[in-house]
Amino acid sequence: MCEEYDAPIHNKTWCLVPRPAGVNIVSGKWIYRHKFNADGSLARHKARWVLHGFTQREGVDYTETFSPVVKPSTIRVVLSLTVSGSWPIHQLDVKNAFLHGRLDEVVYSEQPSGFLDTDRPDHVCRLQRSLYGLKQAPRAWFSQFTAHLIALGFVASRSDSSLFILHRGDSMAYLLLYMDDIILTASSNALLRHVIDSL
């Protein structure tokens, strides 16, 4: 729980403010899971502070929520190209992905239970970045990550908005985004390594 609490603090996900009058305060709860190794043994205990998206009010706490997901046919085509060209392929998982998404709306949430600020226990969190459970969290993360990919020189595919293509001279790379999971392949190991380092 401490590790999970430290991530949003490190990312400046919220700032504590006095509770404004007449605003919706989104509640939350801790979710606990076990993470297992490939052999089935327990790797670690995992805790995540998740907001109750159902306590948000449309038009107040959120507007648009849609976030695209890569099409299965696009995955098959990219994997076929990878195999036929003997390209290297890499799978990436973004840690605390939703904490990177910036919010356009003003959203207030309660402080995580068990981690109340002792000097300001009646204050609430004014969110500056998204948190798990918010209705707009996937969209905010997708928008933030897409902007970064475009800054790196990637172009979004017209046929699938979760496929990004990078051309560097004679080399090219394909990046597939599915929420916080990434499949990355490139025509050369050097380009693959360059993209991973840039991300």
Phi, psi of 145 (to 5 degrees): -70, -40
pLDDT over 70 for what percent of the chain?
A: 100
Query: Contact at 8 Å (CB) between 176 and 75?
Result: yes
The predicted structure's pLDDT at residue 95: 83
Query: At CA 43, angle to CA 37 and CA 45, rounded to 5?
Result: 135
Type of residue numbered 195: V
Rounded to an integer, what distance in angstroms lies between the CA atom of residue 46 and that of residue 149? 29
- Report the range of poorest mean pLDDT among 52-66, 103-117, 131-145, 183-197: 52-66
pLDDT at 64 over 90: no
pTM equals 0.81
pLDDT-derived band at 63, boundaries 50, 70, 90: confident
pLDDT over 90 for what percent of the chain?
A: 78
Residue 193 CB contacts under 8 Å (≥ 6 apart), including other chains = none
Task: Enumerate the domain spans of the chain.
Answer: 2-198
Q: How many residues does the chain have?
A: 199
Mean pLDDT, residues 163-180: 94
Q: Could you read off the pLDDT of 27-38 as tens digits, one per residue?
A: 999 999 998 998
pLDDT at 177 over 90: yes
Query: Which has more pLDDT, 48 or 66?
Result: 48
pLDDT at 66 over 90: no
pLDDT at 104 over 90: no
pLDDT at 180 over 90: no
pLDDT-derived band at 184, boundaries 50, 70, 90: very high
Mean pLDDT, residues 114-119: 94
pLDDT at 99 over 90: no
